[in-house]
Structure 1
Amino acid sequence: MKVITISRKKLVQFLLGGLAFVFIFSIVSGPLIGGAGKLAQTVTGRNKMVPIYQVGLEKEDKRVSISFDACWGAEYTDDILNVLDKYGIKSTFFLVNIWLNDYPEIAKEISNKGHELGLHTVSHPHLNNLSEEEIKKELVENRALIEQLTGQKAYLFRPPFGEYSNKVLKVAESEGIVTIQWSIDSLDWVESKSKDEIVNRVLKDISSGDIVLFHNNGQHTAAAIVPIIEKLQADGYQIVPISELIYKENYYIDSQGTQRKKK
């Protein structure tokens, strides 16, 4: 039998290399955390948390969500609600307190028509610049006003400007709030975007589990969602509120923000 001898220096190098490999592998493929009412952490090596951008569904499960942020103005909101009524669609509206105070009756109408309401803060601030207490106040007071006006106990939350940090997500999680982003931005808020441009932008890449972002006061939004809804329904998609799209338990969120069912 041939005996192989290794110098102490090479042995140390070998062991250190092995430890480095294990450390890097644990960062890259370490466990993702998820569950009912919990946000998951990515494994970027910096323990960065991510919210839900989209949901990983089985191929035969053709569900998507369309959602609306309401911050300023309500000129086109009735038109949007009429379109949703016509096609039997229930959606999710994320509402800011400054909007709720200006349009409380419209908020009640949205709720009475069976649509889901979500949190969008009190004043639409840049949350990353606020303290934990200030973030909590933005969420708690937003939730309280929604419940006061409509009776809905909102628990889905969309950060203003799509901005978030571990601090923001942890505060939301501590309040039992699930943070929701979007996988497709219609850009309906851009004044130069035509109806056809909005339609094409949404339909070109949409697939099961996507969450589409619209705004309640986009000039072409009501007209654009008509062909979008018709095409999705013709292709066999079911358009549901976000709470009916996401998993409630036994899930994780990957580094791309896709919520997935644990095997």
Structure 2
Amino acid sequence: MNPIDRRGLLRAVGLGAVGAAAAACAGRGRAAPAASSPGPASPPPSPSPPPGPSATATASTPAPMPLLPADLPFQVSSGPRDSSKVALTFHGQGSADIAEALLAEAASAGARVTVLAVGTWLDDQPQMARRILDAGHELGNHTLSHGNLAAMGADAAYAEIAGCAERLERLTGSKGRWLRPSQTEYCTPTVMAQARRAGYEHCLGYDVDSLDYTDPGPTAIHRNVMDRIRPGSVVSLHFGHRGTVLALPAILQDLEARGLRAVTASELFG
């Protein structure tokens, strides 16, 4: 039995019944500018004591994040190609059980990830915000309700971005560094302007799409990632999909075999 099937069956037993799958984040845009060379980095965040079940505004002060190069473009989709780092980024939505299973797989491999959270998901699962950060991962903004951000007017786009930012700040003390627009890969000029208005300096795209939101099965997800990934890649994955849980152990194992290390987006670019 291959690693996906063996680990997947074991994990499937632990998952039990799962929630509905997260909405797809499909869409393509214009090619993004290449990222700049990395700058100096600060020490990684230190874990904080976990909050109570309500996960309200009693969050601790966020630890410093790695510094980013001053000339890093607003839109970034991949990091330095001469490094051994890659960023696995997850669209945060769906069942808490699946989110916990994915975080457990990352922890077992010593991987750090970036979760771009949907605001309404944080309303439903407020404890996940500190859970992600306290495990050494990174949290960012994937809009309030996961609408088609590129099709919205300026005020509606701002409300989507600012609404999620408010929830992130209330739950963790920080609105996060990265915005990933929903239902589109790149920030349009309108979205860029409203992101800056909401305090975001960078839009995080990706150069590897796992297509896991289409539920093609763990073998296809693994193949979609490993056929395209290379040093500096940013990979798009999703919470809320059982196949992603089953595919992740083999993805992490193969990254290690290739000498690649999964880090947060800030660690990749910083």
1:116 maps to a residue whose letter is E
Deviation at 1:137, TM superposition (A): 2.2
How many matched pairs? Answer: 204
SS at match of 1:88: coil
Q: Of 65, 70, 78, which aligns to 1:54?
A: 78
**Partner residue, 2:190:** 167
Matched ranges for 1:198-237 at <5 A = 198-237=221-260
Deviation at 1:148, TM superposition (A): 1.1
**Partner residue, 1:115:** 137
**Partner residue, 1:145:** 167
Q: Does 1:186 align with 2:220?
A: no
Higher Cα Rg, which structure: 1
Q: Of 47, 61, 67, which aligns to 2:89?
A: 67
Deviations 1:190-242 (A, max 9, x none): 13x12111111111121011111111111111221111111111221121101
CA RMSD of aligned residues (A): 2.3
Unaligned runs of 5+ in 2: 1-32, 37-68
Q: Does 1:176 align with 2:210?
A: no
Q: Does 1:80 align with 2:114?
A: no
SS at match of 2:256: helix
**Partner residue, 1:47:** none
Q: CA–CA distance in 2 between the matches of 1:108 and 1:223?
A: 24
SS at match of 1:94: strand
Identity, % of aligned positions: 27
Q: Of 118, 124, 128, which aligns to 2:146?
A: 124
Superposition TM-score, scaled by structure 2 size: 0.69
Do the aligned residues in 2 keep the contact of 1:68 with 1:92 (CA within 8 Å)?
yes
Q: 1:184 to 1:222 in 2, by over 3 A?
A: same
Q: CA–CA distance in 2 between the matches of 1:57 and 1:68?
A: 21
2:220 maps to a residue whose letter is E
